[in-house]
Amino acid sequence: MAAFALVVFVFPGACLARHVNQDCGSVFCGSLNISSPFRLKNQPPHCGHRRYEVECDKNNRTTLVLRGGKFLVEEIFYENYTMLVVDAGLDMDDCNSLPLSSAYYYYSYCEKPIQLYPYDNLSLMYVVNCTKPIESALYISASRCRVNSNASSYFYFLDIRTPPSDLSQSFTLEAEVPIRVHNISGMSTLAIYNKLSQGVFLEWRPEYYLKEIR
C-alpha cells in the first residue's frame, strides 16, 4: 500500500487516470462530421475521448490544438485514421501572416496521440527569425510584404537538413513546420506558401482509445 501511495504522489493523476468514454454519435462543426474518438469541447465530458478534443470556433471552423500550435481541420478520414490540417495562423490574404505551428512524427506522453502521417512527399522546414538580412540561397524569405530596410526581424524558411556549418548565429528558431514537398531547396516564397495552404496529413492510432470506449 505504501508503494502505491508513493506512485500516486509522484505522478498525480492527470495522465494515469482511466475513465469510460462513450460514442455519443456525430455532431457537426460547419460541414465537418465530428465523431468518436473526437469530441467537441462543449460536449458532455463522457462523449468521445478527452485526448482527442477539438473546438468549433465562431466561424464554424474545427480547430485542433497540439503542443506545437493550432491547426484548422479541413477533413477527417475516419476509415484510415488520418486528417488534413492547415496551420491556423496562415492567411493567404494577409501578407503579414506566418506559419508558426509545429508538428512532429511523434508525441509525448499525456498529450493528444496525434502525429504527422509519414508519407513520402513530406518534409520539415524551419521558420527562423534573424536580426539581420541573410544573403544565402539556403535562406528563403518568409515575408510576403515589403520588408523595411530598418526592420529588426527578418523571417526565413530553412530546410531542416541544412548542415550546421550553414546555420547563422543570428537567428531564433520560431517553428518546425511540415510541408508536402521532399525539400524546399530552390523553391520561391510564393511556391512555399501555396504548398502550405494545401495542408498536411496527421494520423491517430485507434489502439489508444478503442479499449476505453464502450
Give me the tens of pLDDT residue by residue for the chain, a chain 214 residues long: 444 443 434 444 445 445 556 778 889 999 999 998 999 998 998 888 888 999 999 999 999 999 899 999 999 999 999 999 999 999 999 999 999 999 887 766 566 788 899 876 899 999 999 988 898 999 999 999 887 777 788 999 999 999 888 887 778 999 999 999 999 999 999 999 999 999 999 999 876 655 544 4
- Please report the pLDDT score of residue 12 as a whole number: 43
The percent helix, strand, coil of the chain (3-state, each to 5) is: 15, 30, 55
Of 42, 92, 51, 44, the C-alpha closest to 72 is 92
**Going along the chain, which residue ranges are E strands?**
27-29, 32-34, 39-40, 53-56, 62-66, 69-77, 82-87, 114-116, 123-130, 140-141, 154-159, 171-179, 200-204
pLDDT for 92: 93
Given this model, what pLDDT does residue 187 score? 96
Contact 142, 177 (CB under 8 A): no
**Other beta carbons within 10 Å of 121:** 8
**Residue 208 pLDDT:** 62
**Which DSSP state fits 46?**
T
Q: What confidence score (pLDDT) does residue 23 get? A: 77
